[in-house]
């Protein structure tokens, strides 16, 4: 049972139905109980009203003076008497008997005489044949004394014969003096039993309705749970398929990462060609659209940092295309001028991306340098991306061309500029990922000015220390914000 209940409560739809069903039972039970006690109270009030009407109308018709005179004539309780022979007794008894019969009372109507000196009541005339005259009324209710002058009702009381309700009213003399009380009783147990039977019948009907609702609830719940079980089975199957496909995709992406990493130059190539260096490379996804490239031909070192359109798998595919294009132009076509190199790379990239039915306008931004280690001359050409040369605590910024390596509205030849390097110069090649990262206290971009100040402030330190500073600064700036792009910064000490 508990297992079924747990299944019902675990499902939102069946849980709502169950709550409504329980609420319906509670509300129904409340109104049954409330109705029972309310009807009981109404019945009680009706009986009180009936008794008050009987005693008040009868008391007015009884001659108080005659009643008092008759009672006084039999005041000697030791003297034998036969009150039924008294005409006043018979007359009042007759009035009371007719009232009892006509009102269907199940108890006699009787008069009570109060003795203020002793604070006691004695019985007077009864509507039945029982002679109770001058017998003491033991333990009279306080209401009889308190409301002696006005009349009233007595609280319900229980005896061996049931529950009784009583009302009383004063009998007055011609002068208006209260000489006795007239009291009538009715057994309330029968009325209570009648109300109980009525509501037990209603409760039986409600119980049948509740059972019917319960049967419907169980059947409907089973239907919902079967549907949910089927949905869960389908979802579990779909989840397994998705997990299997996702594993295949992630395995492929991680293998693509191996290919991309194989394309990137090893650290030892930087160590062999520069006094000191670092590569800060942080992809947004598993694979990246940013890449760095290094090749030495004789005394010339070719180094590039590029940002291909997009990131993730599309960016990684394009990075391989662009990296192979650089390799082909420099190593196979033997072109050494950076501007000419980018012109030829652009042709290869455009040709590659426009072979199919759809023309693709993607490409890359790049900073490309050729450094002649014998003459300490750097030739530079770039597409949007400059190179920072730090010398004597100042930054020299190379000027890139304002066009990508790819399709563009107005294509121009890439320009090549020459820079004489000095011993101790530091070079920084980078993509826009660091400067464009959102973060900080105001969730804004890091920006290039702050990036230059960061490089300049720590350029006197070793390259390994600078890399750690860049990493910590980037992470602290980003905080909980999402990394928006791949990041690549290469530092070289010449």
pLDDT digits (tens, 9 = 90+) for 445-479: 999 999 999 999 999 999 999 999 999 999 999 99
For CATH 3.30.450.20, list the domain ranges present in the chain.
2-193
**Mean pLDDT computed over 276-289:** 93
What's the fold here for domain 264-493?
Phosphatase 2c; domain 1 (3.60.40)
Which residues, in sequence order, are bridge partners of residue 418?
A: 379
Choose between 211 and 339: higher pLDDT.
Answer: 339
For CATH 3.60.40.10, list the domain ranges present in the chain.
264-493
* Residues in Cβ contact with 248 at an 8 Å cutoff, skipping those fewer than 6 apart: none
Is residue 303 pLDDT above 70, yes or no? Answer: yes
The pLDDT of residue 383 is 96
The pLDDT of residue 10 is 63
* Residue 218 confidence class, pLDDT cut points 50, 70, 90: confident
The pLDDT of residue 4 is 60
Are 188 and 166 spatial neighbours (Cβ–Cβ below 8 Å)? no
**Whole-number Å distance between alpha carbons of 84 and 80:** 13
Which residues, in sequence order, are bridge partners of residue 427?
A: 389, 492
CA distances from 184 to 53, 97, 151, 450 (A): 10, 11, 12, 104
* Residue 12 confidence class, pLDDT cut points 50, 70, 90: low
Of 428, 324, 341, which Cα lies nearest the Cα of 381?
341
399 burial via Cβ count (<10 Å: 0-12, 13-18, 19+): exposed
Is residue 2 pLDDT above 70, yes or no? Answer: no
Is residue 358 pLDDT above 80, yes or no? Answer: no
Are 189 and 121 spatial neighbours (Cβ–Cβ below 8 Å)? no
Is residue 85 pLDDT above 90, yes or no? Answer: no
The pLDDT of residue 3 is 58
CATH superfamily of domain region 2-193: PAS domain (3.30.450.20)
Task: Give the model confidence (pLDDT) of 305-342 as tens digits.
Answer: 999 987 778 888 889 999 999 999 999 999 999 999 99
Task: Give the model confidence (pLDDT) of 252-280 as tens digits.
Answer: 888 878 888 888 999 999 999 999 999 99
* Residue 375 confidence class, pLDDT cut points 50, 70, 90: very high
**Mean pLDDT computed over 418-441:** 96
The pLDDT of residue 252 is 81
CA angle 35, 42, 154 (to 5 degrees): 130
**Whole-number Å distance between alpha carbons of 144 and 183:** 10
The pLDDT of residue 30 is 81
- DSSP alpha helix (H) spans, 297-337: 312-327
Choose between 329 and 214: higher pLDDT.
Answer: 329
Lowest mean pLDDT among 123-127, 197-201, 273-277, 297-301: 197-201
For the chain, what percent of residues have pLDDT higher than 70? 95
The pLDDT of residue 80 is 58
The pLDDT of residue 231 is 84
CA distances from 294 to 272, 326, 336 (A): 11, 10, 14
* C-alpha 282: how far from chain center: 38
The pLDDT of residue 262 is 85
CA distances from 343 to 191, 290, 350, 351, 430 (A): 110, 20, 11, 12, 21
Are 83 and 133 spatial neighbours (Cβ–Cβ below 8 Å)? yes
**Mean pLDDT computed over 2-29:** 71
* Residue 433 confidence class, pLDDT cut points 50, 70, 90: very high
- DSSP alpha helix (H) spans, 11-63: 12-61
CA distances from 215 to 28, 218, 221, 298 (A): 18, 5, 10, 91
Is residue 77 pLDDT above 60, yes or no? Answer: no
Choose between 186 and 416: higher pLDDT.
Answer: 416
The pLDDT of residue 230 is 83
CA angle 198, 28, 213 (to 5 degrees): 105
Which residues, in sequence order, are bridge partners of residue 490?
A: 279, 429
337 burial via Cβ count (<10 Å: 0-12, 13-18, 19+): middle
Lowest mean pLDDT among 11-20, 102-111, 359-368: 11-20
Please state the pTM of the whole predicted model.
0.58
Task: Give the model confidence (pLDDT) of 140-153 as tens digits.
Answer: 888 888 898 999 99
The pLDDT of residue 191 is 75
The pLDDT of residue 32 is 79
Are 368 and 300 spatial neighbours (Cβ–Cβ below 8 Å)? no
404: number of Cβ within 10 Å: 22
**Whole-number Å distance between alpha carbons of 249 and 81:** 119
Of 435, 451, 431, which Cα lies nearest the Cα of 365?
431
The pLDDT of residue 8 is 61
Choose between 192 and 137: higher pLDDT.
Answer: 137
Is residue 203 pLDDT above 90, yes or no? Answer: no
Instruction: Report the chain's mean pLDDT, rounded to a whole number.
Output: 88
Choose between 112 and 26: higher pLDDT.
Answer: 112
**Whole-number Å distance between alpha carbons of 165 and 153:** 8
Question: HSE (CB half, 13 Å, CA atoms) of 102?
Answer: 9
The pLDDT of residue 110 is 93
Token pair recorded at residue 432: 């826009």
For the chain, what percent of residues have pLDDT higher than 90? 53
Is residue 1 pLDDT above 60, yes or no? Answer: no
Is residue 9 pLDDT above 70, yes or no? Answer: no
**Whole-number Å distance between alpha carbons of 369 and 373:** 12
Is residue 225 pLDDT above 60, yes or no? Answer: yes
Choose between 191 and 164: higher pLDDT.
Answer: 164
**Whole-number Å distance between alpha carbons of 487 and 432:** 7
**Whole-number Å distance between alpha carbons of 463 and 221:** 69
**Whole-number Å distance between alpha carbons of 360 and 16:** 54
The pLDDT of residue 458 is 96
Token pair recorded at residue 45: 């009030």
Are 169 and 181 spatial neighbours (Cβ–Cβ below 8 Å)? yes
Question: HSE (CB half, 13 Å, CA atoms) of 22?
Answer: 8
């Amino acid at each position: 049972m508990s297992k079924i209940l747990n299944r019902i409560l675990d499902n939102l739809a069946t849980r709502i139905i169950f709550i409504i069903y329980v609420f319906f039972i509670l509300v129904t039970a409340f109104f049954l109980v409330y109705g029972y006690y309310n009807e009981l109270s109404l019945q009680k009030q009706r009986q009180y009203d009936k008794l008050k009407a009987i005693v008040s109308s009868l008391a007015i018709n009884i001659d108080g003076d005659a009643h008092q005179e008759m009672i006084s004539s039999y005041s000697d309780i030791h003297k034998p008497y036969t009150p039924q022979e008294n005409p006043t007794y018979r007359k009042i008894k007759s009035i009371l008997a007719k009232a009892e019969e006509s009102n269907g009372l199940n108890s006699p109507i009787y008069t009570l005489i109060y003795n203020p000196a002793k604070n006691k009541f004695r019985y007077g005339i009864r509507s039945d044949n029982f002679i109770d005259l001058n017998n003491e009324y033991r333990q009279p209710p306080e209401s009889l004394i308190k409301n002696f002058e006005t009349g009233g009702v007595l609280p319900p009381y229980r005896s061996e014969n049931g529950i009784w309700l009583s009302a009383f009213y004063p009998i007055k003399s011609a002068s208006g003096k209260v000489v006795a009380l007239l009291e009538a009783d009715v057994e309330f147990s029968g009325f209570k039993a009648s109300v109980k039977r009525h509501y037990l019948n209603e409760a039986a009907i409600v119980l049948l309705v509740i059972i019917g609702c319960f049967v419907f609830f169980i059947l409907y719940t089973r239907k919902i749970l079967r549907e949910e079980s089927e949905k869960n089975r389908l979802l579990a199957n779909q989840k397994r398929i998705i997990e299997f496909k996702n594993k295949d995709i992630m395995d492929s992406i991680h293998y693509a990462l191996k290919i991309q990493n194989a394309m990137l130059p090893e650290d030892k190539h930087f160590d062999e060609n520069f006094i000191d260096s670092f590569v800060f490379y942080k992809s947004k996804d598993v694979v990246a659209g940013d890449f760095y490239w290094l090749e030495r031909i004789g005394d010339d070192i070719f180094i590039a940092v590029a940002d291909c359109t997009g990131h993730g798998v599309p960016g990684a595919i394009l990075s391989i295309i662009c990296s192979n294009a650089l390799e082909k132009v420099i190593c196979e076509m033997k072109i050494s001028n950076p501007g000419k190199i980018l012109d030829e790379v652009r042709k290869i990239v455009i040709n590659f991306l426009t072979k199919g039915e759809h023309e693709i306008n993607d490409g890359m931004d790049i900073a490309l340098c050729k450094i002649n280690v014998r003459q300490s001359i750097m030739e530079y050409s770039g597409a949007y991306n400059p190179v920072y040369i730090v010398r004597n605590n100042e930054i020299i910024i190379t000027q890139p061309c304002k066009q990508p390596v790819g399709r563009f509205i107005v294509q121009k030849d890439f320009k090549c500029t020459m820079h004489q390097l000095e011993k101790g110069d530091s070079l920084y090649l980078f993509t826009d990922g660091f400067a464009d990262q959102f973060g900080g206290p105001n969730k804004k971009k890091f920006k290039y000015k702050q990036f230059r100040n960061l490089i300049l402030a720590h350029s006197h330190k070793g390259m390994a220390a600078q890399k750690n500073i860049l990493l910590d600064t980037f992470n602290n700036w980003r905080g909980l914000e999402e990394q928006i792009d791949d990041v690549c910064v290469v530092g070289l000490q010449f």
